[in-house]
Structure formats: structure tokens, C-alpha cells
Homo-oligomer: A and B are copies of this chain.
Amino acid sequence: MRPVFYTQEVKAPNSRARAGAIHTPHGTMQTPAFIAVGTKASIKGITPAQYQELGIQSLIANTYHLYLSPGERLVEEAGGVGKFMGFSGPIMTDSGGFQVFSLGEGFGKKLSKFLPEEATREAGVAHYDEELATSHGKLAVIDEDGVSFTSHINGSLHRFTPERSIEIQHALGADIIYVFDECTAPTADYEYQKEASERTHRWADRSLKAHRRNIEKNNQQGLYGIVQGGRFEDLRIESAKTVGGMNFDGYGIGGSFSKHDILGILDKVNENLPEEKPRHLLGIGEPEDIFIGVAAGVDTFDCVLPTRNGRTGGIYTKDGKIQIPNAEYVNDFGSLDPGCECPVCKNHTRAYISHLFRTYEMLGPVLASMHNVYFLTNLTRTIRQSILDGRFEEYKESFLARYKK
């Protein structure tokens, strides 16, 4: 039996929306589900003891970050990322592909396409122009074999290949791991996007082989392929067909820098992915996106925004997002999101949380993050129930009519 598999309970009649469950060695997630982001083996500001009351079923940690610190061997020694952080439920690790590129972009890293194929062939292994890499300081250089990149922490030089990413993810020991993929800029032209997408397919194949070679890990961890192709519908469909045909345990979609690249063509992507496998939309999960995703057949979502917004006082409510430090909330004795059943809303007012932010108390970001993660978690849970009850479209319309983007 596969270590990770999907069972469907109910499919909505007029869309791809479906309710089901993803079974993993560390428990079952009921889907659709929001997967909280725990990049460095921590959902920022939230203790694992609080997960249950917030409804958090699972989190996604990051291979790039945990590789840099504390290092995958330490996490392995601790018994894997779950034991390391004190959480016994299902965990995913992203392959690090996105961060290798995005943390370059974010810090002005120069993205070099790739070195001449001949050079790579001659070297037999990874080839990178060390002078170029170190002179630019922050850089990701792609070749057929993998990516050489500098750490966003100290500029030191590192290298990921599909095999190395899988090896690190085997050490980290999450239930669901991902193939190593190349993330492209949303502005990349068709030619480059096609090249990158095809390289990602070759990397997917190498990732899968590396995973299969390790029989012990292969029995404990499920491997998801990743659909790429940027904003180009034909490339996305081609990618879904290719990766979808490779017999992964599930599929990640996305890995692009702009969600507009993918939301419009999600339905066509999922049409070409196997029905019986779980599908995760990588890094996208604002309320409006979740409805689009679920309607297109996505099972799970992750997004940093609930905690990132929370840290600066951005609060999700059924009426849209509000900035709680704003003057209008200083003497508002209602809860963050009226009617919300989360532990923050049941015990605290907008006035109090506004005060915490206005006086730089760290409890402000903590409570705001708790509420926001609950909000997204509860939204997917309510969506799931609406599918089970045969009224997903109805719920979607009523939610979106009220929610101001």
C-alpha cells in the first residue's frame, strides 16, 4: 500500500469540488484542507499544543530553510521534522525549489538561465561559474543537473539537485515530500517557460527514481510531483499530462511567483491529473483563491499570508481583511470576526488586540496569527461540509458576496 493515498467521499455535481481524506503515516487529513505554513518547523508564534483547538491538521515545512539551519541530519537525529518540533500529525516538506529561486529574487539575486549544455556535459556533474556566483553575492545558477545558489543568510554557496532535494527530504522525514522543480519568473517568455517546464519534468523523473531507490523511506513518505508551465495554458496541460502520468502519490500545482498565472487554468490542469490522487495548490490560499481552487478540484492549500498578515495586524474576517492597529478599532469591543468560534475571538476584543499592536506587545502578532490560521482552516472545513451537504456553490456565492477582497 502507498504511504499516502486519497479517498473520496463526495463529489459536487457541477464542478470538480470534492470532499475526501488524505491518509498518511501520521494520520488522516479531511479535505478540502488548509495546510498551515511552518517553514522552519514552526508555525510562527503558535505552539503545537494550540494546533488542535485551532483545527490545524497539518503543516508544510521547507527543505531549503531546514537544510540551511539546523541541517537535515539534526532533524533526522531528532526523529524527523514532526518529532523535532513536537507535532504528531501529518507534515509536508516543499522541495526547496521555490525558495532557491524566490529568495534570490527577493534579495535581488541574479537569475541566470543556465550554462551552456556543453560545459555541463564536459564537467559530467554540476557546473557553475563560481566567480560569477560569488561576485554577484546572491545568485541562482541553473544547469541541467541542478541549481547552484547562495544562502540568503550568509551568501555561502550551495547546490541542490533533484537527488539531493529528495535525500534531504528523506532525512527530514515528512509524510508528504515534493519533487525538486524550477520556479520561473511570471514574466519569463514562452520559450524559456517551455524549457524550464521540460527540465522540471526530467527533474521529476529523477526525483521519483531517487525516492524509489530508498525503499525504507519510500514506504514511509509519499512523493508529490509538481505541475509547472507558468501562465501558458498549453504548457500547464502538457505538464499535468506528463507529471500526472508518472505515478506520484499526489500532485502539487503552482510553484510560480504570481497566482494569476495559475488560477484561471487550474480547472484544465486538474482535468489532466489522475482523479484518484490528492492535489495541492502550492503557496496559494487566500479565501477567494480557495473557492476557485476547490471548484477546480484542489484538495489542499497552503499560504503564508495568515501568519504574515497576522504579524503586522492584518486580520481575516467574513467581511474581508481589516488592519486591527487602525484607530477605528481602538475602542471596538467586538471580537476580531464577529461570530467566529476561535479561542481568540471567544476571549478577546478588537480593542485589546489593537492595543497590543499599538504598544508593540508580541502577544498581538501571536493572537492575530492564531485567529487567521483558524479562519482559513475553518473556511476549508466549512467548504468541506458544504460539499458533503451538496450546497458548495450556494456557500461559495454567499461567502464571496460578503467578503471584500
Q: Could you list which residues of chain A lie within 8 angstroms of chain B, going by C-beta atoms?
A: 40-49, 65, 69-70, 74, 77-78, 84-86, 311, 330-331, 333, 343-344, 347-349, 351-352, 354-356, 358-359, 361-363, 365-367, 370
7 smallest CB-CB distances across A and B, nearest first, come from: A86-B347, A42-B363, A70-B355, A42-B361, A45-B362, A40-B359, A86-B348
A360 to B45, CA, bound (A): 11
Given A358-B69, A359-B40; A48-B347 close (CB under 8 Å): yes
Could you list 5 A-B pairs, sorted by A, with CB under 8 Å? A47-B343, A47-B347, A47-B363, A49-B347, A74-B330
* From A40, A348, A349, A355, residue with most partner B Cβ within 10 Å: A355
Q: Judging by beta carbons under 8 Å apart, are B351 and A78 in contact?
A: yes
Closest to A70 in B: B355
Contact (A349, B78) CB under 8 Å given A355-B40, A355-B41, A361-B40: yes
Is the beta-carbon distance between A44 and B358 smaller than 8 angstroms?
no
Q: In the bound complex, how far is the Cα of B47 from the Cα of A343, in angstroms? A: 10
Residue of A44, A70, A344 with highest tally of chain B CB at under 10 A? A70
In the complex, the answer to whether A86 meets B352 with C-beta atoms within 8 Å is yes
| A41:B74 contact, CB within 8 angstroms | no
Partner of A355, one of B69, B355, B359, B366: B69
B residues in contact with A366, CB < 8 Å: 45, 47, 362, 366
A85 to chain B, nearest CB (A): 6
Task: Name the B residues within 8 Å of A362 (CB-CB).
Answer: 44-45, 311, 362, 365-366
Residues of the B chain whose Cβ atoms lie less than 8 Å from the Cβ of A84: 349, 351-352, 355
Which has the most chain B C-beta neighbours within 10 Å: A47, A351, A356?
Answer: A47
Verify A65–B359 contact, CB threshold 8 A.
yes
Query: Which residue of B has the minimal Cβ distance to A44?
Result: B362
Q: Which residue of B lies closest to A330 (CB)?
A: B70
Interfacial chain B residues near A45, Cβ < 8 Å: 362-363, 366
